Structure 1
Amino acid sequence: MTLEIHCCPNCGSKEVSRNGKTRHHKQNYKCRECGRQFVLNPAWKSITKEQKELMSRMLLERISQAGIARVLQVSEDTVQRYVNSQATAVKKQVEVTAKQKNPLSVQMDELWSFVDNKGNQQWVWLALDAQTREIVGVHIGDRSAVSAQALWNSMPPVYRQCAVIYTDHWSAYDSVLPSKRHRAVWIKIVVVPAISSASTVLFDNEYQGLVRKSLAFSKKLENHLAAIWRFVHHYNANLQL
């Protein structure tokens, strides 16, 4: 049966035929011109560019996916698909302002986190420029010397060549950092927000998804990594404003 009253949302053709029912028992239609299948007044609608931008900001503010879905009046599946798509798109490399080969100071530390359950620990290793407060190195992994090496490798070359590095007394640093420029201290007094295991000021204030008493830990490693990297880029970009 050909219907003249409905137009294809894809090509605008009126050559539309009934094509059974959807799993929600709504009448399905098919365009005889382009083959597009559709229903009238669909419950699902694609999210707009403005909604995506707002969704990204709400994710940075630790608003739950269910909360985002309610605010934007979209399904939780839509929010999850967006989160998954961003996990693959986010750049996993630090972006910092250019530095001259002058004396630099960097503070390194590790922050405990987990994915899905506390047995799946994912340590967030960070390096911060003591003067500019930029995050200049990031790695997420275990708490071994391999991760300390990955943090060191993640920093721009000028920091690896010139910076004095302040850390705690965690042994993993000793086998990786240049001994002449490594300063292991009991109390960190560099002028950057403390991110030690005792006081996670930086993450507590800027990205509450990593607060220890929070329930906002990811259940998927890719999304956990993406959330951290979104914070890193957001934090550094705001420092430069």
Structure 2
Amino acid sequence: MQCPECQSTHIRKNGKRRGKQNYICVSCSRQFIDSYSAPQGYSDEVKQQCLRMYVNGMGFRGIERVTGVHHTTVIYWVKQVGEHLPDAYAPEQTPQVGELDELETFVGSKKNKIWIWTAVDHFRAGILGWVLGNHSAATFEPLWNLVNLWNCYFYVSDGNRVYPLFIPDQDHIVSKTYMTRVEGENTRLRHYLARLHRKTLCYSKSEEMLRYSIRLLLHYLRFWDVPIPA
């Protein structure tokens, strides 16, 4: 028998691991068993199952309890796919009426509030643009730079004081009545991501992870599938 790390034959028994004899290499201290009954790593089917569960409202530890896959592994898979996904997808048709709104959440603790600013087409489903940050004009500006290219007939928003700084008065309607589309899309975010549920033990520990999660969810809601982590 040889050590798989250094190929040394100076091997000793070192207890048992899950009912199988465990060995340790005297030369390099590598521990191993004689043979593995299954290939190492998870199949693509298991990876996709875990990510589908995540974008359908389950938290990482809930996924671990159901599948047996450690929650840190699922977190790693979300990061893997999230960092390669776009923030949003270009509209199939240029919106004629845009709706704008903000969704409040927090990162780390409830004192550290953060807002997801979203933009949608009044007549079609799907979030077409979003930014993450505080409740200031500086946060909203990159989203407006995108939305402004639509050249909508008018834009609908709530009474947030930031919007009039960018939207001309004659193009701006302030009314909750006509914001059903964007409020519905924000509700879908809360419904599909456990970390955005209103009363939950799940929460975002980093802004980066929140970004990856939103990207993954928007991909899922557009294609009804999730990418396979490498």
- Report the TM-score when normalising by structure 2: 0.76
Which of 177, 180, 183 is equivalent to 1:194?
A: 183
Partner of 1:72: 67
C-alpha contact 1:106 1:165 (8 A) present in aligned 2:
yes
Distance 1:114 1:56 in 2: 22
Tell me which stretches of 4 or more aligned residues in structure 1 moved more than 6 Å: 19-22
Task: Compute the RMSD of aligned alpha carbons.
Answer: 3.5
Partner of 1:175: 165
C-alpha contact 1:111 1:195 (8 A) present in aligned 2:
no
Partner of 1:99: 93
C-alpha contact 2:3 2:9 (8 A) present in aligned 1:
no
Name stretches of at least 5 consecutive residues in structure 2 with no aligned partner: 225-230
Partner of 1:51: 46
Partner of 2:81: 86
Partner of 2:109: 117
Name stretches of at least 5 consecutive residues in structure 1 with no aligned partner: none
C-alpha contact 1:148 1:176 (8 A) present in aligned 2:
no
- Report the TM-score when normalising by structure 1: 0.73
Structure 2 CA distance for partners of 1:58 and 1:190, relative to 1, 3 Å? same
Which of 217, 228, 236 is equivalent to 2:214?
A: 228
Distance 2:70 2:85 in 1: 23
For residues 147-198 of structure 1, the C-alpha deviation after alignment (integer angstroms, 9 at most, x for no partner) is 22122124483x2x2352100111111112233322122x2325525259xx
Structure 2 CA distance for partners of 1:99 and 1:86, relative to 1, 3 Å? same
Sequence identity (%)? 23
Partner of 2:137: 145
Which residue type is aligned with residue 73 of structure 1?
G
Q: What is the Cα deviation at residue 56 of structure 1?
A: 1.1
Q: Is the deviation greater in 130-139 or in 59-68?
A: 59-68
Distance 1:69 1:18 in 2: 38
Q: What is the Cα deviation at residue 218 of structure 1?
A: 1.3
